[in-house]
Structure 1
Amino acid sequence: MGAKTVNKLAVPGAMLHYEVTGAGPVLLLIAGGGTDAGVFSGMVGQLAAEYTVVTYDPRGNSRSGYVGDATDETLVQAAADALALIDTVAGSEPAYVFGSSSGAITGLELITRHPERVRMLVAHEPPCTEVLPESDADDARAFFADVYETYRAEGLTAADVVFMMGTGLDDDAMPPMEDLLPEYRELAERMQANAANFYEHKLLPFTRYEPDLDALKRVADRIVPAAGLESYMHLPGRPIEVIADHLGWPVVMFPGGHGGYSSHPAPFATHLAHLLKSDTL
């Protein structure tokens, strides 16, 4: 494993913080929600034995500050950020991509718009609820709107409770801050600081994303639909079943829940590396 380098990349409207570790084909890991590159720290060392692993803080999160005023996220913009990182690190070669949660949505938009730049996409629990059956989609849309309105009316703590309970993520709750090791405490503090920006500028644009299922079908041999063994039945995990049915592939189960890459990093990385070696399902 090579030494980690920490870098900055200027993109329209933001300055992206990204980290590169290892050597070999490029593997871009895309974090979701209010998280950042640090959520993958438990997997990077293992994966970097065979890949050039690129992690980054999505725009507006942690060390990837906005240039100018914060604005609502767009999926075109999120995919362009991911593409800029692939172009910077991989040059003309396509990259492997793993994305979880809204990071998986970014990956879906990336492979839709730039299929030639993605060698394989592992899309882990993208919460693009518009693909659900109509009544389920209506309920999901109303739920996320309620989270947003709760944030605006009652603040972060109340919104966190509604969001975590309604998505099943309360099972992934971290220990109290004072019980965390220093490096995990720093990550938790960064994520906590990102929460307002997530609710204000990312929650609704991502959850209301409508993937182009026909375009995805055309590159189905390069998409691995994935979910957590402990979370696939909850709201964020359910849309990937619909997408997988459209692609004609089964959903591949990963260890842990929605954040299994963080809670079960070693087996999660082993499973991911095995999938990447297959190149296709």
Structure 2
Amino acid sequence: MTDPIIGSLRVNGATLHYEVRGQGPFLLLIPGGTGGAASFDGIAEDLAAEYSVATYDPRGMSRSTLDDPDAEQHVAEHADDAFRMLELLSPGEPALVFGASSGAIAALHLLTTHPERIARVVAHEPPVVEVLPDAAEHRALIAHVQDTFRTQGLMPAMAVFAAGLKKDSDTTEPKAELKLPPRAAARAEQTMANLPYFVGRIVPSFMSYAPDIRRLEGLSDRLVIAGGQDSRGELPYRSAAFLAERLGTELQHFPGGHIGLTTHPAEFGELLRKALRASI
């Protein structure tokens, strides 16, 4: 295993920690949820045999610090952070981009605002609930999560959030998702440290984001929407499937559930390679 090149990038209101490995076509990995660059530990090294792989901690997460810790977060600003990464690490060259969950939402916005910089985007389960016919129900869920967070605290809010994401009558999926590889389990402390920021700042902003469907339709030849094989019926999967349908593209299935890149890294990485090769 080779050590990554580590650096920092100053952006508007934040300083971003980033890591680069390998050589080849440039591939930017945008993490989601409470994950930072470390959430790609299971796949980054293997991908680096074929690509120049860059990933980073999104602003406010892990080692990427905010000038104002209480600043509201916006999808457009997070997408601009990704664009600044491309400008620094892959100037002038169209890049490959993978985004997971909220990172997939940032990747979608990046594609619509800077298509000239993008060769291909693979977006895994972006929870763009505003595209769903029952979006109002999910707006109510997000409001309930925020109210619970303010009045009862973090863990009750997470319980409300997790229940809202699950499919009806699902009692088995959480048990399956607990079987994490050792390196992922070792990140639990950092994950917990990031949770308040995720629940209080990222969830309300990203899950109220409405993608520009018309713009994405014109760019759909550069976009792969993916869903987890084991997360059918869950809210992020439903959002991804509905978005793919709206764009007239086929939803590609990756192993595992919403965090399949963590629970099934080898299989996930191989399918990601196949999705990316179509653009080279």
Which band: TM-score by shorter chain? over 0.9
Q: Percent identity?
A: 42
- Picking from 151, 161, 164, the partner of 1:163 is 161
Partner SS state of residue 109, structure 1: helix
CA distance in 2, matches of 1:55, 1:172: 27
1:68, CA displacement in angstroms?
Answer: 2.9
For the pair 1:226 / 2:226, whether they are aligned, the reply is yes
1:7, CA displacement in angstroms?
Answer: 1.0
Instruction: Tell me which stretches of 4 or more aligned residues in structure 1 moved more than 4 Å.
Output: none
Listed as ranges, the gaps of 5+ residues in structure 1 are: none
CA distance in 2, matches of 1:238, 1:44: 27
Question: Which residue in the other structure is 1:126 paired with?
Answer: 126
Question: Which stretch shows the higher mean deviation, 188-197 or 66-75?
Answer: 66-75
Q: 1:198 to 1:250 in 2, by over 3 A?
A: same
Question: Which residue in the other structure is 2:151 paired with?
Answer: 153
Match runs of 1:1-281 below 5 Å: 3-133=3-133, 136-168=134-166, 170-171=174-175, 173-174=177-178, 181=182, 183-279=183-279
Which residue identity does 1:148 align to in structure 2? Answer: Q
CA distance in 1, matches of 2:86, 2:186: 27
Q: In the TM superposition, what whole-angstrom CA distance separates every residue of 1:224-260 from its partner, at most 9, and x where no partner exists?
A: 0110001131011111122111221110000000000
Listed as ranges, the gaps of 5+ residues in structure 2 are: 167-172
Partner SS state of residue 137, structure 2: helix
1:279, CA displacement in angstroms?
Answer: 1.4
Question: Which stretch shows the higher mean deviation, 241-250 or 117-126?
Answer: 241-250
Which residue identity does 1:16 align to in structure 2? Answer: L
Q: What root-mean-square deviation, in Å, do the aligned CA atoms of Structure 1 and Structure 2 show?
A: 1.7
The answer to whether the 8 Å contact 1:125/1:232 transfers is no
The answer to whether the 8 Å contact 1:126/1:240 transfers is yes
TM-score normalised by length of structure 2: 0.93
Q: How many residues align?
A: 274
The answer to whether the 8 Å contact 1:229/1:253 transfers is yes
